[in-house]
Amino acid sequence: MEVTLQITTRDIPHSEALESHIREKAEKLEKLYPHITSCRIVIELPHKHHHQGRMFDVHIDMTVPGSEIVVNRVANEDVYVAVRDAFDAAKRQLEDHARK
């Protein structure tokens, strides 16, 4: 990527394994579309009261020439599943953008 990847976690402890997983996913997006100029990922654990468990929210904000790709509120009880689903959604949006 032309600009460094920015990973932010809110209300969860920092994890090298999770950060590495996110970087791998971002590298795959870069191979798909090498013109990404910025990529910001926010992973948070909102303070909501759930009866079944707490859900991780993943937000991705990427800037590409002429557009911005935004993935909001991909939630799952497993942070890795939430990250996977968010990056899958970002990949679909990047593919749509590349076709235009």
Q: Mind listing the pLDDT tens digit for each residue in 38-93?
A: 999 999 988 765 556 788 999 999 999 889 999 997 889 999 999 999 999 999 99
Q: How far is Cα 42 from Cα 50, in angstroms, rounded to an integer?
A: 21
Tokens standing for residue 4 = 């460094």
* CATH class of residue range 5-99: alpha beta
pLDDT at 2: 55
Q: What does the domain layout of the chain look like in residue ranges? A: 5-99
Exposed / middle / buried, residue 24 (Cβ in 10 Å: 0-12, 13-18, 19+): exposed
CB 29 within 8 A of CB 91: yes
Q: Which helix (H) or strand (E) holds 96?
A: helix 79-99
pTM as predicted:
0.88
Q: In what order do the strands lie in the sheet with 67-76?
A: 5-10, 38-44, 56-64, 67-76
